[in-house]
Structure 1
Amino acid sequence: MNKTAESVWENCLSFIEDNITPQAYKTWFEPIKAVKLTDNALSIQVPSKFFYEWLEEHYVKLLRVALNKSLGNQAKLVYVIKMENARGKKPAFTEKIPSSQRSKVNSQDISMALNTKNPELKNPFVIPGIRNLKIDSQLNSNYNFENFLEGDSNRLARSAAKAVSAKPGGTSFNPLLIFGGVGLGKTHLAHAIGVEVKDKHPNKTVLYISAEKFTQQYIESVRKNTRNDFIHFYQVIDVLIVDDIQLLSGKKGTQDVFFHIFNHLHQNGKQVILTSDKAPVDMQEIEKRLLSRFKWGLSAELLKPDYLTRKKIITCKLYRDGVEISDSIVDFVAKNIKSNIRELEGAIISLIAHSSFNKEEVDLALAKKIVENYVHNSKKEISIDHIQKVVSSYFQMDIDTLQSKTRKRHIVQARQIAMFFAKKMTKASLASIGKQIGDRDHATVLHACKTVNNLTSTDKQFKKFVEDLDKRLVE
């Protein structure tokens, strides 16, 4: 009997229905249509980008098991996204996306995963030896330039990123350091560069990695006495993208090895892209020789998006997900969620979810309720615990260190700043503040507040710390 797309999908649905709740099956699988079967690739049509993302996030392993049962271990799944309710005369938006290329596992492995409490089957990034140059770039193709919308807040960074992706290693933007606050698009832009380089220069070896993962790999190489292999591996990369480079702070061994890797890549015309939550001048416990190299190229800051950019982001997201929402509600959301793009997109997804689940139009009352969930934190009274968490995170230390008895200057100053904001932003007494921040007395808190005020007026660097933290605490 010849298999058709419909028959294969029917077999998949029978298996899926037995493994999830009826409500989940009705919501996420009944709306799907089988489109085409080519060799071992089954194409299925889903109603929106949001729908596709939900399936990939929550049901990709179940889908893989079902598909393997019908088509074998070489089966592939392709999503066809088609929204019929396009605006005006615009054609319906259609996009084909392959299911995420996760680690290849056999049916037995997946079946076991379905019965465990922790179904995550991660494919940890393993450093291949120098002879094995087939490298997984670790890139997310959903983060591209097409859906990174340009505005006044990101124009310089986006333009530099486009220039680098067109001519990696061949511009004066080497390294390119993209920095800015949480949720402003640093990681998105870094991935977009890698994705475009892979598209325009398929012969180039591209690698995206977080600074935290890089550090873990380095520690493992030291433990296994394979440090030279670790260095050699990174020296063959054409475009190296390191996310959250500020996390190398205080890690001397990792900084040293990264210094040598950076030098080799730069001297050989290879491209380095870095992201950070702060500018080089504000990075603490990063060696000067490394900081100087960060400044060789371009440091481009991502700022909070302005109103017009926020509105453009919302409109684009809604169109790509095939959802109609009135302009007045778009305006309301854009005007009220200002802190970062991540929260803005979170609010949009909540609106889309309500629209999809409840089969109803989004009205202003619903929009207000959702927006309140994202902005209520700024209206709440800030706690001393929250202040300590933000300050310790900013200075890259844990709360125990912040509260400790040490007299190291940078720790003392961090503790004094925490006390200063606790007095400024809470109703707690001096005695209560001191008690909660390291079991100090009220006189210590009073002295800390005076010290912070004095240093803010005389020390530009210290003033920058206080201003940065002031913004973060009210975000």
Structure 2
Amino acid sequence: METNGKLQAKVYKLLDRVTKLQKDKVELKRQLHVLAVNMSRQEIPTVSDGLQIDEIIHRAIVTEYPYTTKSDYSAKTRKREIVQVRQMFQYLMYKYSAKALKAIGLTTGRHHSTIINARQTVTDLAATDRVYGIKLAKIESRIKASITDADNELVANLTDGTKNVDKNAHCLLMLSCGGLAVRTGLLDTIS
């Protein structure tokens, strides 16, 4: 039989190993999170018809606001019609792209804090102004349909062996969706 001291030493060794494994698990989870966030900030790959997500969002906005041009998103004007459309574009870019706030701000010529404000303003305005809320819902449904069509086309091309499709594009597309998962907290479900 082992003495009490030897047993105690073995217990301490096991406790040290368990502690080290727990620290390794936490570190690996942190590294996974950092990797996912960094990959989600990469440029979004082109989707159907060679469009970027910002072009898809712009086309969806133009269906409800036909007077809108791309230059309106970075214009210095404070006209309500232009400001609301600009804020909607910023909100939708945040929601549907994996770009960081700073990158969205650079796209629209604004600071990242303006994007945060636009996100809150659009949410509040959609809740209080029924017409604005309906237009936003229509625009979002068009964006979702465009993105879904592009995803379906890409997946169909990947599964069909006769077409030559870059599998890295599919991985990047899935990672851009992963960026949304990181943003919405779905990554926390990975254990």
TM-score, normalisation: structure 1:
0.19
Greater relative contact order, per chain length (Cα 8 Å cut-off, separation 6+): 2
TM-score, normalisation: structure 2:
0.46
* Greater gyration radius: 1
